[in-house]
Chain A
């Protein structure tokens, strides 16, 4: 007992004297090890409540400085304590984010938002670590020794590439096939979905610019000053957006093009796009739909009285799981490839692999493909297995 009191006193002193924890640890270590070596095994008594005494010495000073804490402070404390409790919340949170958090009404919404922030934060940290760990290229050493080589071409800078690509897109703006993105779904999307939609649109534009025969992109129904427009300006920057080689307009696709030329692409459509038509104007709805609102774009097409079509996914792929709606950038990859090559097989390579288990084999033909659809596995997990099973069965019987 004497030892315990001594030990406690020493450690409380240590805590008081030095606030950081590392020195305390070494102190405690040395004390305990010296004591155990000095004593017999039997005398090493178990004191189960020693932690209580130690923790009591670490009590926070009683200064409730804030006399009138606001709801924001409660939320800050909540996040801080949840972090200490090992929940998936960010380590640091800005005031703006806190306001967003306080505006959410339900507990589950708050938890989800914090989880989102925590994951974002973790990505940021790992990225930073990677950047720091990367060895820096040494530049200054070989500057003098390097002799000028006799080259056929000057270095091909990315700026030259940009000029080339821009030339092509400018060509497309005069002579290319139009591809319309219908931007009239602002009110159907949450903030997160809208941000994702803009990311996908940027990806779309980038792919189009790089392709050998670009589309002439139209952003139709883009309300100036609307949420979509604001987010786009934020991401591109106003100046870059002005120089972008795409057509953006507030009018509807039916105002720009003859109605009979327009085909609205939507996964809910009953007709299948069997062949890509170079004279048609395809319309893609710029919507990211995380919640369940089925048939929104089909309803829109019905209202505008446009023809609709869906991609021939079931006709070519053994669909496994996941929704048939694809992201906007996947859509342009598919459309651009099928435009250039005319082959659905090449185009549908851009459908995410996790959603299907391979193409229908070529020899089975058309009727077979319908049948395969009907016997396609309902159980998502053993989709691959069943396909294999069926093949062996064919071989046995045939």
Chain B
């Protein structure tokens, strides 16, 4: 065993550098352990050399794939259910990080302890007198912003409010006045620690000493006031905020919390309606507060159900705290005997607790037509048709699709061909096409024209076989093939699926509004096939398509609400956990 074996990770890193120059291959081969033989076989194989004659995008694509997927087939993680399941992206990212090595961890660890203008003096633990503060200030290196930095440190250390007050007393004696900025910091300290009387005093002072309050102070006062008897004044501050800027969801949330806490449910809902009108999405804590109030105070059922349907319409998933409150609220409803259980859903779309089946993921006819139209208009044509294709090509493609019977499956040829580095592109594609043909499906393969030019990766005979087994359309090398894929799949009808590893996020971003994007995502979840763990020679297997829609839903006597368990869900993923609510009769 050579020195390379002991350090097999670096060896992996440099494997691809050997490919070009066989000189470096020979000594290394002798020392390679058995489990690396697979990788080595791949390297010696002349068909898969990494450079291409043209050195163009093709080579780039290839290198990317090898970087991501190559060389360590054993340890590659098996994706759990689907690429859209919550947490998949995070797991993949962690795995990639681990493979990238330790150096990234080192980088993140040695963050400097001291930022800019870090004070060296110790934080006092009791209120100081003026002279003591003066002494402390002399001891610090940067004295011009001494009080500001000291206040910030007191805030971050959650220090006693009296220390901050003594600092203010010192500053006022030293300078004769207090700056707005310093008072703002002090106010933050008071609000976070909940010193209400101090908040009131500071409010009176700031109100009189300065022309207006800016957004930061107003927000803090809204937050501070909403917890006290003077919560109505927070509403006035909210009005003041509106003059120059739109108040944030947090501002509204604080005001609503204030109203609801003090029993004025009507004002709370009025503010909530206003929030919706502005097009702001509420924070989860605001909803939690509203549901909480629903437990103690009756008569809000309609409103709270409308919140649930808002979540449904906007594809929002509650987090753990909120879902617990929702469950408690349902169970507190009198005479309805709701019982809630946290549950999962079987792949068939059946809730594991109540055995009811969930809503199907299929789109309605109108939705389907609308989505097809939008994809054509926004994704393919866009603002400039030349961006993705040319008018002639588009015409040609439309005619092509019209002439053929509806397809059962549309394949993104280049994406599928790049699935594994262990076989040439055309071999992989042929294997996939043959497997699907065996199932008796009508197939469309989309690709680019360069695939037709015989090369190492694109064997002519394989390509001919693919052409016999399926319909093929090859776009110009400069055009994008994904939009055509989407259109062909949508054009063929509800039964048609498509095969690609691409998550289509850039195409989703082309769509004009959130509603259409949600529609697209729903269709994508129901129709996208992804190849799972493919190895050449083995049978091609696909990841499961979900049969049910992950969305807040009801069937009269039952509710099913998906929720986020922990915060590692990517935006293109959906949660796997459900709250199942059923009524006992």
Contact = CB atoms under 8 A, between A and B. Distances in A.
Interface stretch (B110-118, B214-222, B320-328, B554-562): B214-222
A308 to B, nearest CB: 9
Contacts of B50: 371, 374
20 contacts: A11-B176, A44-B129, A47-B169, A50-B169, A55-B177, A55-B209, A56-B205, A59-B209, A71-B244, A77-B244, A81-B212, A81-B217, A85-B216, A86-B148, A270-B56, A298-B387, A368-B20, A370-B55, A373-B63, A378-B67
Interface stretch (A20-28, A215-223, A235-243): A20-28
Contacts of B384: 296, 299, 303
B209 A60 contact: yes
Interface of A: 11, 15, 21, 24-25, 28-29, 32, 36, 44, 46-52, 54-56, 58-60, 71, 74-75, 77-78, 80-82, 84-86, 106-107, 110, 270, 295-296, 298-300, 302-303, 315, 367-371, 373-375, 378-379, 381-382, 385, 390, 393, 397-398
Contact of A60 (B16, B17, B100, B211): B211
A58 B107 contact: no
Interface string B164-207: 01101101111111111100100000000000000001001100
B131 interface: yes
B104 interface: yes
A370 B180 contact: no
Interface in B349-370: none
B130 interface: yes
A25 B59 contact: no
A301 to B, nearest CB: 9
B452 interface: no
Contacts of B216: 85
B270 to A, nearest CB: 23
Nearest to B127: A46
Nearest to B213: A81
List of 4 A-B pairs having minimum Cβ-Cβ separation, nearest first? A374-B63, A81-B214, A299-B386, A59-B208
B176 A25 contact: yes
Contacts of A397: 24, 27-28
B78 interface: no
Given A48-B127, A81-B212, A298-B478, A107 B245 contact: yes
Given A298-B478, A300-B386, A370-B59, 15 more contacts: A21-B175, A24-B177, A50-B169, A78-B214, A84-B181, A84-B210, A85-B216, A85-B217, A296-B384, A302-B386, A373-B59, A374-B59, A374-B62, A397-B24, A398-B24
B478 A270 contact: yes
A46 B211 contact: no
B120 interface: no
Interface size class of B (residues with CB under 8 A): 35 or more
Contacts of A398: 24
B130 A32 contact: yes
Contacts of B208: 56, 59-60
Given A15-B176, A368-B20, A390-B17, A48 B386 contact: no
Contacts of B27: 397
Nearest to B51: A370
A78 B201 CA distance: 23
A203 B330 CA distance: 68
A25 B67 contact: no
B246 interface: yes
B174 A51 contact: no
B481 to A, nearest CB: 14
B60 A373 contact: yes
Nearest to B181: A86
A48 B162 contact: yes
A51 B165 contact: yes
B174 A25 contact: yes
Given A302-B386, A370-B59, A28 B181 contact: no
A32 B478 contact: no
Contacts of A49: 165, 169, 201
B573 to A, nearest CB: 23
Interface string B52-68: 10011101101100110
**Most chain B CB atoms below 10 A, which of A75, A300, A397:** A397
A89 to B, nearest CB: 10
A241 B104 CA distance: 53
Given A81-B214, A295-B387, A375-B17, A32 B181 contact: no
A370 B215 CA distance: 54
A78 B181 contact: no
B539 interface: no
B103 interface: yes
A379 B104 CA distance: 9
A52 B184 contact: no
Given A48-B169, A60-B208, A393-B14, A270 B63 contact: no
Contacts of A368: 20
Q: Is the interface of A mostly helix, strand, loop or mixed?
A: helix
B390 interface: yes
B166 A46 contact: yes
Interface of B: 10, 14, 16-17, 19-20, 24, 27-28, 50-52, 55-57, 59-60, 62-63, 66-67, 100, 103-104, 107, 127, 129-131, 148, 162, 165-166, 168-169, 171-181, 184, 201, 204-205, 208-217, 243-246, 248, 384, 386-387, 390, 477-478
B397 to A, nearest CB: 16
A55 B205 contact: yes
A374 B171 CA distance: 61
Contact of A51 (B51, B171, B215, B246): B171
B246 A82 contact: no
B165 A55 contact: no
A358 to B, nearest CB: 18
A28 B51 contact: no
Contacts of B10: 393
A77 B166 contact: no
A371 B62 CA distance: 11
Contacts of A48: 127, 162, 165-166, 169
B249 to A, nearest CB: 12
A370 B58 CA distance: 11
**Most chain A CB atoms below 10 A, which of B10, B168, B171:** B168
Contacts of A82: 214-215
Contact of B60 (A60, A74, A374, A382): A374
A85 B208 CA distance: 16
Given A46-B129, A81-B214, A374 B51 contact: yes
Contacts of B14: 390, 393
B366 to A, nearest CB: 32
Contact of A270 (B181, B210, B477): B477
B210 A60 contact: yes
Given A84-B181, A300-B386, A78 B244 contact: yes
A32 B213 CA distance: 32
Contact of A379 (B28, B100, B165, B172): B100
A375 B210 CA distance: 60
B6 to A, nearest CB: 14
Nearest to A268: B478
A74 B24 contact: no
A374 B201 contact: no
Nearest to A299: B386
Contacts of A85: 180-181, 184, 214, 216-217
Contacts of B52: 370
B478 to A, nearest CB: 6
B51 A367 contact: yes
Contacts of B62: 374
Nearest to B242: A74
B190 to A, nearest CB: 13
Nearest to A61: B208
Nearest to A72: B244
Given A21-B176, A85-B216, A302-B390, A270 B127 contact: no
Contacts of A84: 179-181, 210, 214
B168 A51 contact: yes
Contacts of B214: 78, 81-82, 84-85
